[in-house]
Amino acid sequence: MTNDNTKPKSKASPPRPEDDANKQPRSLFKPAKPEDLDPLDLSYRPPDGDEGDDTSEQPEPELDDFARALYGEYRDYGITTYRELDRLNSAASEVRFGKPRVALFKLKPFAVMRLTDADLVVSMGAISAEERKDHPTKANLLLNSGDAAELKGPHSVDLIDSAIADLYAHFPHFGPALQAIRECANLSITRGAQWLEFRPILISSGPGMGKSTLARALADRMALPVIWLDGSTMTTSVPLIGGDAVFRSSRASTIVEGMINNRIGNPIVVLDEADKIADMSRGARQDPTQALLAFLERGSARRVHDHFLGIDLDFSHLNWVLLANDLNRISPAVRDRCKVIQLPPLTPDHLAAIAASEVERRHLEPELVSALIKACRVGQIKSLRKLHKALDAAQAVRTRPLLH
Report the distance separating Cα 115 and Cα 258, nearest Å: 12
Report the distance separating Cα 331 and Cα 54, nearest Å: 68
pLDDT at 153 over 90: yes
The helix (H) or strand (E) run that includes residue 91 is helix 82-94
Q: What are phi and psi of 185, to 5 degrees?
A: -65, -40
**Residues 105, 42: contact at Cβ < 8 Å?**
yes
More confident residue, 79 or 272: 272
More confident residue, 152 or 246: 152
Q: Which pLDDT value is given to residue 342?
A: 94
pTM, entire model: 0.77
Q: Which pLDDT value is given to residue 28?
A: 38
Cβ–Cβ contacts within 10 Å for residue 55, how many? 9
Beta-strand relationship, 110-114 and 304-306: unpaired
Q: What are phi and psi of 31, to 5 degrees?
A: -65, 135
**How is residue 346 annotated by DSSP?**
P
Residue 401: pLDDT band (50, 70, 90) is low
Report the distance separating Cα 336 and Cα 348, nearest Å: 33
pLDDT at 94 over 90: no
Closest CA to 237 of 188, 276, 285: 285
Q: What strands lie across the sheet with 110-114, from one edge to the other? A: 101-103, 110-114, 148-151
Strand partners, 103: 110
All structural domains of the chain with their residue ranges: 28-45+60-114, 151-342, 348-399
The residues, any chain, with a CB within 8 Å of residue 355's CB and separated by 6 or more, are: 369, 372, 373, 376, 381, 387, 391
**How is residue 329 annotated by DSSP?**
G
Burial of 322 (0-12, 13-18, 19+ CB in 10 A): buried
More confident residue, 179 or 352: 179
Report the distance separating Cα 348 and Cα 274, nearest Å: 27
- Give the dihedral of Cα atoms 364, 370, 374, 376; nearest 10 deg: 40
CATH topology of domain 151-342: Rossmann fold (3.40.50)
pLDDT at 12 over 50: no
Condensed to tens digits (0 to 9), the pLDDT of residues 233-272 reads 998 888 898 887 666 667 889 999 999 999 999 999 999 9
